[in-house]
Amino acid sequence: MLRAKLSAVAPGLLALSVVLLSACSSINQDQSTWSPNRLYSEAKDEVAAGSFDKAIPLLERLEGRAAGTPLAQQAQLDKAFAQFKAGEKADALATLDRFLRLHPASPAADYALYLKGLVNFNDNLGLFAFLSRQDLSERDQQAAKESYESFRELITRFPESRYADDSKARMTYIVNSLAQYEVHVARYYYRRGAYVAAINRAQAALNDYREVPALEEALFILHRSYAALGMEQLAADTRRVLEKNYPDSEFLSRGFRSAQGPWWKLW
């Protein structure tokens, strides 16, 4: 009896499968005949709905169908944005690099650079979230530096761009973040008694950055590390520099319990 029931059900399942396959085939066939404007409209709807994974193949198809036209360029940029929002950051960067290589004089080149900066800037923010178990000395700052370079190229090539002001603000944030990172690692080493390593990272911050808030603590770590190593003259010289540049420094009176707050809160 069970075999009979299965036999009775099987034709129904087969019929349903045929219908579904036919429907899928019809959808694919319909998309293959869509006009470029229809493809673009559908892709924009998917982006607006947050369905970035569905928008990406539509934009790829549009890029091929509209090759050599402004619409194809727009499809590339929209695809990069969709890839970025979908978390496909490596693909987004590759799409933007290709766009800038193929269309260096495009009116949208400033946006491409801005979006490229944003893709890496997001990685930078992730590095400065709450600390993980990873050794801080192993954290990679390359994404932040690449983000900075994209924004710098934008404001250099397109100083009047609508994205220039925001790019400048993000560049300032990145510089502050990178300097603060170096100081945080220096403090990390200092608290573990690795005074030479702490001196090297504090000096790196002082050599590489100018007029950023983190340099006050860099000088303090340098002063304390020299003192811990018994290098009294260097410790005294560093303290004088700290007092001259930051006469009201709370580090000198309160040490690392400064009122500046957590290191990752940069504003």
Per-residue pLDDT band at 75 (split at 50, 70, 90)? very high
Specify the pLDDT at position 245.
Answer: 94
The angle subtended at Cα 265 by Cα 249 and Cα 187, nearest 5°, is 60
Residue 129 has pLDDT above 70, yes or no: no
What local confidence, expressed as pLDDT, does residue 140 receive? 62
CA distance 211 to 249: 15
Question: What gap in Å lies between CA 249 and CA 257, rounded to an integer?
Answer: 12
* CA count, 13 A, side-chain hemisphere, 120: 24
Residue 22 has pLDDT above 90, yes or no: no
pLDDT in tens, 158-184: 999 999 999 999 999 999 888 988 999
Write the CB contacts of 173 (distance below 8 Å, at least 6 apart in sequence). Answer: 266, 267
Distance separating alpha carbons of residues 79 and 131, to the nearest angstrom: 33
DSSP for 86-132 reads: TT-HHHHHHHHHHHHHH-TT-TTHHHHHHHHHHHHHHHHHHHTSS--
| Nearest one of 125, 137, 235, 126 to 184, comparing CA atoms | 137
Angle between helices 89-102 and 70-85 (to 10 degrees): 160
Which pair of tokens denotes residue 170?
């993000």
Average pLDDT over residues 53-80: 94
Q: Is 1 a residue whose pLDDT tops 90? A: no
**Cα–chain-centroid distance for residue 88?**
12
Q: Say which amino acid occupies 43.
A: A
Q: How far is residue 101 from each of residues 50, 69, 76, 94, 105, measured CA to CA in Å?
A: 28, 16, 12, 10, 10
Q: How far is CA 150 from the centre of its chain?
A: 11
Give the tens place of pLDDT for each residue, 184-203. Answer: 999 999 999 999 999 999 99
How far, in Å, CA of 147 to CA of 90, rounded? 13
d(CA 67, CA 202): 52
3 state SS for 16-69: HHHHHHHHHHHHHHHHHCCCHHHHHHHHHHHHHCCCHHHHHHHHHHHHHHCCCC
239 pLDDT higher than 90: yes
